[in-house]
Amino acid sequence: MPAPVGSVDIELDLIQWVQGKVGPAVVVRDEVDNNLLAELPTIQVQRLPAGDDDGFRLDRALVDVDVYAASRGEALDLAGRVRAWLLLELRGAKTSRAQYGRIRSSPPPAIRPYENTGLRRAGATYEIYSHPVS
């Protein structure tokens, strides 16, 4: 029997996939905490409470990816690299959990406000189609 729709933990899968791209010098996580300033750069991956599915296997997730860095330029640069990896390398790829299809960013990476003036935040929202590995 095939895995049910929505059975892929897309946050966990994307965190591990992006961590493999950036290496150990960058923290990739689903939540930020009070130690964020000491852990720059950090990439935060969060599935939004939106999207839909086909009722069978195909899941359409909306995922926010935010980059926190010491400078505006560093945040935008890393957000741009993440965008390129997602759009050019993850599309059509298969991980141990999911097969990925169409991926697009809307909006693309841009500076987002953040309360702490000691860092900068750049982010984008991605529409990601996936289904469990058969």
pLDDT of residue 6: 59
Q: Give yes or no for residue 59 having a pLDDT over 90.
A: no
Give tens-digit pLDDT for 72-103: 999 999 999 999 999 999 999 999 999 999 99
CA distances from 21 to 3, 86, 90 (A): 27, 10, 11
CATH of domain 10-132: 3.30.2000.30
Which residue did the predictor score with more confidence, 106 or 52? 106
Spatial neighbors of 71 by CB under 8 A, at least 6 apart, are: 120
Spatial neighbors of 84 by CB under 8 A, at least 6 apart, are: none
As a whole number, mean pLDDT of residues 40-66 equals 86
Domain ranges of the chain: 10-132
Which strand (E) or helix (H) includes residue 78?
helix 72-84
